[in-house]
């Protein structure tokens, strides 16, 4: 149980285009989803927290207009990188948490974004 999927697993796009990444909880309802970014040989940095039906809460330094997050249902959150630039190339990982006291997060397999 507690499986989280991401799509696509990798994507290459040209500078200036927008890319959408999906994060789905397959066997549970995710009241909260998180989006992380990981640069090579670095740890995960939280970008934003999203609750179903609410606006996402972004971490300091993360551009809201560039990284659009939508959490329209209890099983799906999307991250759209708008007007992508090469410096946005990174590994993006989502996680999901179901309602309850454990606060355990279940992680997706990640999406490798390369902007050329």
Q: Which residues bind another protein (CB under 8 A)?
A: 6, 32, 34, 42-46, 49, 91, 93, 95, 97, 102-110, 112
Least distance to another protein from the beta carbon of 68, Å? Answer: 20
Structure tokens at 61: 């330094």
Q: Which CA distances in Å does 91 have to 18, 42, 114?
A: 16, 10, 9
Match 């959150």 to its residue by tokens.
77
Shorter beta-carbon distance to another protein: residue 34 or 67: 34
For residue 26, the minimal CB distance to another protein (Å) is: 14
Q: Which is nearer to another protein, 45 or 72 (CB)?
A: 45
Q: The tokens 């397959």 sit on which residue?
A: 26
Q: Are strands 44-51 and 57-58 parallel, antiparallel or unpaired?
A: antiparallel
* Of 15 and 112, CB closest to another protein: 112
Pick 20 or 112: Cβ nearer another protein: 112
- In the complex, the smallest distance separating the C-beta of residue 42 from another protein, rounded to whole angstroms, is 7
CB of 49 to another protein, least distance (A): 7
Beta sheet of 4-7, edge-to-edge order? 4-7, 19-25, 76-81, 67-73
């Amino acid at each position: 149980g507690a499986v989280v999927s991401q799509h696509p697993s990798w994507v290459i796009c040209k500078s200036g285009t927008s890319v959408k990444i999906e994060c789905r909880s397959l066997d549970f309802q995710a009241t909260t989803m998180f989006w992380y970014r990981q640069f090579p040989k670095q740890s995960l940095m939280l970008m934003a927290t999203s609750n179903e039906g609410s606006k996402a809460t972004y971490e300091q330094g993360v551009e809201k207009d560039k990284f659009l997050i939508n959490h329209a249902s209890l099983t799906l959150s999307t991250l759209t990188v708008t007007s992508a630039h090469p410096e946005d190339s990174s590994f993006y990982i989502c996680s999901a948490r179901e309602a309850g006291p454990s606060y355990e997060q279940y992680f997706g397999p990640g999406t490798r974004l390369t902007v050329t």
